[in-house]
């Protein structure tokens, strides 16, 4: 198991242990940096604080990001688009706005959240949780506003309500 020193303390952390520690948690809003764990974007400081028990003031975002990338988790900076692909500032569809590309990327972005309720703003998934109540509680707790909230379904049958054949 890899050892690392964070804030002068030695910790033994591994990829699977970090994933397991986050299963019952919801990620906080992403401000600038994130790591991808269990198919979700997480603030690096939130993750490192959860798995080490350290106070977030004890380390920087870059230290957390470096520790988590050493364990094999991808990290990046959040790219904020002002408006979702294919939509103009008034919220109307633009045929020349690349809707097909935007639609395909949204489908891929939602794939890890099949079966969960999500809150979305533009092309960003703010939060995913098992119930709409959990989503609303998270939005309230973090002072966030979503453009829409819905359950990510897993099949065409779920949309139409058709019985399997």
Q: b or e along 86-106 (b: 16 or more beta carbons within 10 Å of the residue's beta carbon)?
A: bbeeeeeeeeebeeeebeeeb
Tell me what the mean pLDDT of segment 76-88 comes to. 55
21, 15 Cβ separation under 8 angstroms: no
Q: Tens digit of pLDDT for each residue in 89-124? A: 444 434 334 444 455 566 677 777 888 898 888 777
Domain locations in the chain as residue ranges: 3-77, 99-160
| pTM of the full structure | 0.63
Phi, psi for 99 (deg, rounded to 5): -55, -40
Mean pLDDT of the chain: 79
């Amino acid at each position: 198991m890899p050892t690392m020193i964070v804030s002068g303390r030695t910790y033994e952390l591994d990829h699977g242990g970090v994933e397991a520690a986050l299963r019952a948690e919801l990620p906080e809003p992403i401000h600038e940096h994130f790591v991808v764990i269990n198919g979700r974007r997480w603030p690096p400081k939130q993750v490192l604080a959860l798995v080490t028990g350290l106070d977030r003031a004890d380390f920087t975002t870059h230290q957390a990001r470096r520790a988590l990338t050493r364990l094999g988790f991808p990290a990046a900076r959040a790219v904020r688009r002002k408006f979702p692909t294919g939509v103009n500032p008034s919220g109307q569809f633009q045929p020349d706005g690349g809707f097909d590309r935007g639609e395909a990327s949204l489908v891929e972005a939602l794939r890890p959240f099949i079966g969960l309720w999500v809150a979305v703003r533009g092309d960003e998934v703010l939060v995913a949780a098992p119930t709409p109540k959990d989503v609303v509680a998270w939005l309230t707790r973090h002072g966030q506003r979503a453009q829409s909230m819905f359950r990510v379904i897993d099949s065409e049958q779920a949309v139409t309500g058709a019985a399997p054949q």
